[in-house]
Structure 1
Amino acid sequence: MADRPEELAGEAQWRSAGDRIQTLLDATSTGGAAARERAEQLVREVVDLYGAGLARVVSTIADQTDSGMLDRLVADDLVASLLLVHGLHPHDVHRRVGDALDQVRPYLGSHGGDVHLLDIVGETVRLEFAGSCQSCPSSAVTLELAVEDAIRAAAPEISSIELVTPDTTSAVIPADSLLAQLHSRGQPSGGAAWHPVPDLADLAPGEVGGFAVGGVVVLACRVGDELYAYRDHCPACDGSLAGAALHRRLAGGDPVLRCPRCRAHFDVVHAGAGLDDDAHHLDPIPLLLRDGVLSLAVPAEPMGASA
């Protein structure tokens, strides 16, 4: 897209606004307690002023016959985050969490998985993952990261996410309230960071490319209309996948990725599962459209690694 660089610049600008505001407030402390108090009061006055203006805009739109106008506004992440800060978002937490899960559901499906919203109790969301992703640790971590990011953005009042498995066991993921003080929501938890990667969209069907993103070499490929990304590491020979190519299965079906060194085969459409040895699987990396910008959540450590 021709406007993508400007779009990326705009996203980066507003996502980091909260951090810049906090830095400026901290700098005022050098002038003493009185200077800091005046600066904080100034920020509160400005926030309250814009909040009052937003309240009037929302009220005016709600009175119009076009009921879809408000939905179109809250579909924009920046507008939605500001409405959340001021308590003006028209949708309750159940609707927002449900919509967030719907947005990432196609990505979950690419890993052979799905997620079900069981309940929201207080500030805790209870979810159940389903599908083949349950048997793949790397895929499970990838999906949890994608789901957590979506819920954090849509419902900052959620403090934890409880993952319930069919055998009734569960694990709780802490979820900080990232938008409460207008902080950027650009960074997921777990030592990972989202990076815009618009160049990946230029991959042609059947093409495989290597990209350095956030200090990590990522292997990306396109199968039909879908893009998939993995850490550049073959678990079979412990080498790089540089030079790997997609090969069509003899019996038809989705193409598979073959390591150019050890000839191991991996199902890139289904979370990088090993086709020659079930113990070997690629490390998938979340690759999602975030606010219309293709982005990768690059982890600080391999997603399948254990402490």
Structure 2
Amino acid sequence: MADRPTTPAELPDNDAQWRTAGDRIQTLLDSCATGGAVAYERAQQLVREVVGLYGAGLERIMLIAGDPGLTERLATDDLVASLLLVHGLHPHDVRRRVSDALDRVRPYLGSHGGDVDLLEVTDDTVRLAFTGSCKSCPSSAVTLELAVEDAVRAAAPEISAIEVVAAQPAAPSGLIPAESLLARMHPPGSAWHPVPELTQLEPGEVAGFVVSDTTLLVCRVGDQTLAYRDHCPVCDDSLAGAQLHETLLDCPRCGTRFDVVRAGAGPDGAHLEPLPMLPRDGVPSVALREPLGAST
């Protein structure tokens, strides 16, 4: 958000390291299981004691802080906010946290010609409406939904259902549970993969990356970095060697032009397959799924 007082320059250099501490702790706990049930239980108890200790400390900090400005800084720092959520200490209600999360992903949605409106937050359900020029592009629609779902669940883990107002007027019920929609259009097992090398791209540059056996084509347009699967839908070939002309990417084999800032739109309804890309834990990350049509 534009009014957030904390800037990346103020964060410690090892900020991303601590955000992945949960995974490392779980790995260590799992390794303790090899020492037997007693050792594993003692390791779990140790973690519970440590978590309880820093939870009590966080609660004390929030009480002592008092100053609304300082409280806001703590609540809008991603790392601190995640800890506050774990202990039920976050000062913002669910609607505020969801709204802020949507604001953070709106620039990404806009780069794909889309937007999202927060319609309602009731109990443990969030209702959203997607808008924009991408609603007729199935792969782009899934891209936007996956990015929004990830942001909402990170900001409000207590949310158990995300309902999306169907962009297509022919949808029978008007409301589609995000989980069932995403399950149909991309197989289970989708995951975010960090690609720190993306920060090295210069404006106007196009580069290929292999991530989890998937070849990506990544373009840098101004301050936007956009990722697509390396496949031309017109000639059914690789885009390796493609050149970027402002926002248009030329296929080096068939010459077809695709608008990379408009979800890869090409002529006659053809389009590249965009991939969700967001900064996660301070590192550019791409969400990958199986190719369309793959068996689940």
Question: Shared fold by TM > 0.5?
Answer: yes
Name the CA distance, whole Å, in 1 between partners of 2:286 and 2:156.
21
- 1:172 equivalent in alignment to 2:149: no
- Deviation for aligned residue 1:88: 0.5
1:223 is aligned to: 221
Name the CA distance, whole Å, in 1 between partners of 2:281 and 2:30.
30
Within 5 Å, which residues of 2 pair with 1:32-181? 33-61=37-65, 63-64=66-67, 67-165=68-166, 167=169, 169-174=174-179
- 1:262 equivalent in alignment to 2:254: yes
- 1:289 equivalent in alignment to 2:290: no
Equivalent position SS for 1:277 = helix
Structure 1 residue identity aligned to 2:230: D
- Deviation for aligned residue 1:18: 2.7
Name the CA distance, whole Å, in 2 between partners of 1:211 and 1:96.
34
Name the CA distance, whole Å, in 1 between partners of 2:44 and 2:192.
30
- 1:300 equivalent in alignment to 2:289: yes
Name the CA distance, whole Å, in 1 between partners of 2:105 and 2:248.
24
- Deviation for aligned residue 1:33: 4.7
TM-score norm. by structure 2 comes to: 0.84
- Range 128-137 or range 20-29, more displaced: 20-29
Unaligned residue ranges in structure 1 (runs of 5+): 176-188, 248-253
Name the CA distance, whole Å, in 1 between partners of 2:224 and 2:36.
55
- Deviation for aligned residue 1:77: 1.9
Q: What's the Cα RMSD here?
A: 2.5
- Deviation for aligned residue 1:239: 0.5
- For residue 19 of structure 1, the aligned residue among 11, 23, 31 is 23
2:5 is aligned to: none
Q: What percentage of residue pairs aligned between the two structures are identical?
A: 64
Unaligned residue ranges in structure 2 (runs of 5+): 1-8, 181-186
1:277 is aligned to: 268
- Deviation for aligned residue 1:206: 2.1
Equivalent position SS for 2:227 = strand
1:209 is aligned to: 207
- Range 254-263 or range 122-131, more displaced: 254-263
1:184 is aligned to: none
- Deviation for aligned residue 1:49: 1.2
Name the CA distance, whole Å, in 2 between partners of 1:295 and 1:41.
34
- Deviation for aligned residue 1:24: 3.8
Name the CA distance, whole Å, in 2 between partners of 1:30 and 1:162.
42
Equivalent position SS for 1:301 = coil
Equivalent position SS for 2:261 = helix
Cα 1:205–1:18 shift into 2, 3 Å? closer
